[in-house]
């Protein structure tokens, strides 16, 4: 078993524990919309810019976990070339890079006791 597979399995176990303990709840888009309108919870959109451009939620705050990699350094160019070779040219998918400031930006925007509804496209973030 690879290191990445072990880390993913551990993350899944942590996620399942949080759901079981009701610290996290998965909502449908409709449930999230009603919750946002009827409570003081805030919406945090964590999708990359290319997904947010397709549709965004009025009143939400946008802080992407990953975003389209616009770097032109050697590392960025090699990631883009690899993505292109493994099918990015066919699927039209962009090369993404992790937002290293995500936690800091979120902590600056919201207090620790804020109830947050995370918005993502597929529920994987």
Whether residue 91 contacts residue 85, with contact meaning beta carbons closer than 8 Å, is answered with no
- Catalytic residue numbers, as ranges: 120
Q: Which two tokens mark 59?
A: 């009143």
Q: Closest Cα partner for 71 from 92, 88, 90, 94?
A: 94
- Tell me 85's DSSP state: I
């Amino acid at each position: 078993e690879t290191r990445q597979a072990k880390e993913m399995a551990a993350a899944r176990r942590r996620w399942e524990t949080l759901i079981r303990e009701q610290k996290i709840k998965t909502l449908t888009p409709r449930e999230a919309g009603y919750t946002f309108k009827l409570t003081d919870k805030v919406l945090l959109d964590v999708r990359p810019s290319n997904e947010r451009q397709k549709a965004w939620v009025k009143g939400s705050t946008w802080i992407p976990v990953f975003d389209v990699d616009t770097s032109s350094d050697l590392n960025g160019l090699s990631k883009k070339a690899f993505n292109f070779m493994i099918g990015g040219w066919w699927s039209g998918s962009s090369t993404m890079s992790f937002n290293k400031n995500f936690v800091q930006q979120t902590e600056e925007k919201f207090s620790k006791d804020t109830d947050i509804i995370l918005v993502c496209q597929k529920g994987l973030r």
